[in-house]
Amino acid sequence: MVARTVSAVTLDRTASDSLPARRLLLVHAHPDDEVIGTGATMAHYVSTGAHVTLVTCTLGEEGEIHVPALSQLAAAEADQLGGYRLVEWERACAALGVTDHRMLGGPGRYRDSGMMGLPTNQHPRAFWGADLDEAAAHLVEIMRELRPQVMITYDANGFYGHPDHIQAHRVAMRAAELAGPDAPEKIYWTAMPLSVLRDGMEAFKESENNPFADVESVDEMPFGTPDDEIAARMDGTDHHAKKTAAMRAHASQIPDNSWLYGMAGDFGGEFMGVEYYTLVKGERGPGEGPHKWETDLFAGLDLDGS
Ligand SMILES: CC(=O)N[C@H]1[C@@H](O[C@@H]2[C@H](O)[C@H](O)[C@@H](O)[C@H](O)[C@H]2O)O[C@H](CO)[C@@H](O)[C@@H]1O
Ligand SMILES: [Zn+2]
């Protein structure tokens, strides 16, 4: 019998060749980040037949608990919140139609570090203290398996400065360096245009549950990107109901009276269903409007045989 040897690279290629032509990878820090920042985008691409893979880096063990009946699960009590949020995360993914969801290094490998500067940052498994190349290697393995053309993660400040978000950015970008030919061709960072922030401040001015109550100007906020630096506007308004349902799955983190629901009420699909990105790797595809914002993250890619 003729021995047939197939190189590991060929095997890898075979694995991704059986997947849809468009493959999107998202790297987030905690359960609930996926829906808050990118839920409509994920639902949109699932609905259009792309393969969507969510990698979340921690179980969110150090989170607040907004459901009183669950208060004993807190880190300082039974320390079971991580396991509970894992179930919330699975339910949220189901609401968005995302079936490929993975914890970086497996559930519990990296622990929620808590807010910047807290003693929990020093926990032996805190994601903030993870070895960068070791953590990135878990993501490289996924890139080799799937060969995603597009990846979404956070900017260098983790969008708002949380240590796990900063570390998720660093690990995702390091993995893209190490993955070579299997690295995403386009890399986006989540972003919020200053014009949308200003509109939000205006919309909430009279609201009792105003997330902008303590700021005079959007320039005081840790996030906000000039409109001409935004590369893509993903309109997933057709899926805003899925995003809302996915948020409700994260009830321990997102209370019923959250301003997020208030914003949805005022803006409806416009706020819940529209998500923005800067492009930090790859060529910008054709776009629309005054800033030529892309409306498809795969725009400009040659997907034949990729
Ligand atoms: C959206 C997000 O990243 N949430 C994180 C964050 O949660 C904040 C934290 O509980 C803080 O104490 C609150 O004041 C703030 O309102 C929350 O957004 O940090 C948590 C701990 O690391 C994390 O579990 C949660 O997912
Ligand atoms: Zn987070």
Written as tens digits, the pLDDT of the chain (306 aa) is 444 444 444 444 556 778 999 999 999 999 999 999 999 999 999 999 999 999 999 999 999 999 999 999 999 999 999 999 999 999 999 999 999 999 999 999 999 999 999 999 999 999 999 999 999 999 999 999 999 999 999 999 999 999 999 999 999 999 999 999 999 999 999 999 999 888 888 877 777 777 778 888 888 888 899 999 999 999 988 998 999 999 999 999 999 988 788 765 555 556 678 999 999 999 999 999 999 999 999 999 998 766
Give the separation between CA 168 and CA 52, rounded to whole angstroms: 18
Give Cα 189 to chain centroid, integer Å: 9
Does the interface predicted TM-score (ipTM) exceed 0.95?
yes
161 lines ligand 1 (CB under 6 A): no
Which residue segments constitute the domains of the chain, with CATH numbers given? 23-194+224-294 (3.40.50.10320)
Whole-number Å distance, alpha carbon 288 to ligand 2 midpoint, is 31
Give the separation between CA 283 and CA 187, rounded to whole angstroms: 10
In tens, the pLDDT along 149-160 reads 999 999 999 999
**CA-CA distances (angstroms) from residue 49 to 20, 44, 206, 236, 277?**
7, 9, 41, 14, 21
What's the token pair of residue 161? 């400065």
34 lines ligand 1 (CB under 6 A): no
**Nearest ligand 1 atom to alpha carbon 63:** 24
Give the separation between CA 37 and CA 27, rounded to whole angstroms: 11
In tens, the pLDDT along 80-127 reads 999 999 999 999 999 999 999 999 999 999 999 999 999 999 999 999
